[in-house]
């Protein structure tokens, strides 16, 4: 459901409570307005009233605390509920530090934003709005969503457009009998690169990995992924109409057809009782192809 600004009769309604670490905060009107100030990014719309609750609401919104178990708790009606922490969301719940010294979150920011837009009803409402006016820009879409009581930023509306585009691409993707025959006869490096890229796309749907990142995950030398993609292109398995494609600036993108290929291979392995690919092991340069 969308966020509806409060009325005077809220005073007798018991607000919900959010648990963050060892602290609990009542999600009162000031708290929610502070969070919406950060979510929408318009100072003129939700002005800072200087209260502590307003400040905490904004902090928790920045820290991804309002998506709990696929629910946007900021838009939940006041019933006195207590929302415990969700280990999959929130910047305070990190997993291990990567080899590059960066903190790796349980949920990437792109996936967090996507899930939040779905949970707050923005994705569904945006689809209806675009059916009525397909030429509407992000700013106009934000205002149209606000009229429905759904408060998101202009950048979120751009993200919603990308979500619809990706959904349309997946809807038309299909594997022919010829494709399936080729997929089931993929060599080990070809299947491995597809599975790595599919897993990375699931982890962060907006970002394509660099070729060096894919090679590192496969525990191969830096040029391994570029070489594999090039050989797949020679036999018609890579490129815009293939399973995977390499870009000129060093990124690797798995196509919707490639994602379907990985799902097919893993489903086949499960049906046949196969274990799939073994964990990658570093090999010497002379064995790479």
Choose one of 60, 95, 130: the last residue of a domain.
Answer: 95
Question: Would you say residue 92 has pLDDT above 70?
Answer: no
**For residues 210 and 215, what is the distance between their CA atoms, to the nearest angstrom?**
9
Contact, 195 vs 210, CB < 8 A? no
Q: Give the torsion sign (CA, 259, 265, 271, 277).
A: negative
Backbone phi and psi for residue 20, each to the nearest 5 degrees, phi listed first = -130, 105
User: Residue 289 falls within a domain, yes or no?
Assistant: no
Query: Is 110 found in the same domain as 84?
Result: no
Choose one of 77, 95, 113: the last residue of a domain.
Answer: 95
Question: Would you say residue 100 has pLDDT above 50?
Answer: no
Query: Is 183 found in the same domain as 202?
Result: yes
Residue 282 CB-density burial (10 A; 0-12 exposed, 13-18 middle, 19+ buried):
exposed
Question: Would you say residue 10 has pLDDT above 90?
Answer: no
Q: How confident is the model at residue 93 (pLDDT cuts 50, 70, 90)?
A: low
User: Residue 2 falls within a domain, yes or no?
Assistant: no
Q: Hey, what are 180's tokens?
A: 């399936």
Q: How confident is the model at residue 260 (pLDDT cuts 50, 70, 90)?
A: very high
User: Residue 182 falls within a domain, yes or no?
Assistant: yes
Question: What is the pTM (predicted TM-score) of this model?
Answer: 0.83
Tens digits of per-residue pLDDT, 183-207?
999 999 999 999 999 999 999 999 9
pLDDT of residue 7: 47
Residue 104: which domain range?
A: 98-172
**For residues 193 and 14, what is the distance between their CA atoms, to the nearest angstrom?**
52
User: Residue 163 falls within a domain, yes or no?
Assistant: yes
- State how many domains the chain has: 3
Question: Would you say residue 243 has pLDDT above 60?
Answer: yes
Query: Is 109 found in the same domain as 36?
Result: no
Query: Is 187 found in the same domain as 265?
Result: yes
**15: Cβ contacts below 8 Å, ≥ 6 apart:** 26, 27, 28, 29, 31, 78, 80
Strand partners for 238 = 244
- Stretch (H or E) spanning 254: strand 252-254
Question: Would you say residue 55 has pLDDT above 50?
Answer: yes
- Please provide the size of the chain in residues: 289
Q: How confident is the model at residue 284 (pLDDT cuts 50, 70, 90)?
A: low
Question: Would you say residue 34 has pLDDT above 80?
Answer: yes
Query: Is 245 found in the same domain as 149?
Result: no
Strand partners for 83 = 18
**For residues 215 and 54, what is the distance between their CA atoms, to the nearest angstrom?**
46
User: Residue 162 falls within a domain, yes or no?
Assistant: yes
Q: Is residue 238 classed as helix, strand or coil in its secondary structure?
A: strand
User: Residue 15 falls within a domain, yes or no?
Assistant: yes
Tens digits of per-residue pLDDT, 158-189?
999 999 999 999 999 999 999 999 999 999 99
Q: Looking at residue 246, which CATH number applies to its domain?
A: 1.10.10.10
User: Residue 288 falls within a domain, yes or no?
Assistant: no
Task: Tell me the angle at which helices 224-234 and 188-203 cross, rounded to the nearest 10 degrees.
Answer: 110
Residue 31 CB-density burial (10 A; 0-12 exposed, 13-18 middle, 19+ buried):
buried
User: Residue 3 falls within a domain, yes or no?
Assistant: no
């Amino acid at each position: 459901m969308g966020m509806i600004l409060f009325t005077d009769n809220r005073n007798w309604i018991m607000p919900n409570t959010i648990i963050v670490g060892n602290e609990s905060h009542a999600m009162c009107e000031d708290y929610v307005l502070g969070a919406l100030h950060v979510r929408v990014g318009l100072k003129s719309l939700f002005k800072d009233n200087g209260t502590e609750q307003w400040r905490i609401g904004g902090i928790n919104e920045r820290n991804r605390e309002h998506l709990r178990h696929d629910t946007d708790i900021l838009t939940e009606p006041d019933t006195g509920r207590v929302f415990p922490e969700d280990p999959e969301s929130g910047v305070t719940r990190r997993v291990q530090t990567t080899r590059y010294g960066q903190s790796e979150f349980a949920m990437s920011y792109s996936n967090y934003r996507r899930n939040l837009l779905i949970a707050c009803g923005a994705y569904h409402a945006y689809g209806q709005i675009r059916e009525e006016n397909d030429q509407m820009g992000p700013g106009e879409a934000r205002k149209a969503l606000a009229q429905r009581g759904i408060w998101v930023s202009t950048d979120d509306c751009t993200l919603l457009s990308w979500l619809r585009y990706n959904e349309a691409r997946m809807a038309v993707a299909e594997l022919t009998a010829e494709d399936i025959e080729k997929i089931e006869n993929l060599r080990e490096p070809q299947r491995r690169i597809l599975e790595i890229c599919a897993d990375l796309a699931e982890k962060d749907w907006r970002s394509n990995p660099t070729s060096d990142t894919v090679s590192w995950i496969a525990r191969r030398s830096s040029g391994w992924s570029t070489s594999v993609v090039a050989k797949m292109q020679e036999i018609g398995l890579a490129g815009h109409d293939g399973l995977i494609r390499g870009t000129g600036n060093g990124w690797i993108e798995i196509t919707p057809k490639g994602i379907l290929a990985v799902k097919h291979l893993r489903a086949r392995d499960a049906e046949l009782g196969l274990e799939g690919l073994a964990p990658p092991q570093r090999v010497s340069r002379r064995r790479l192809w």
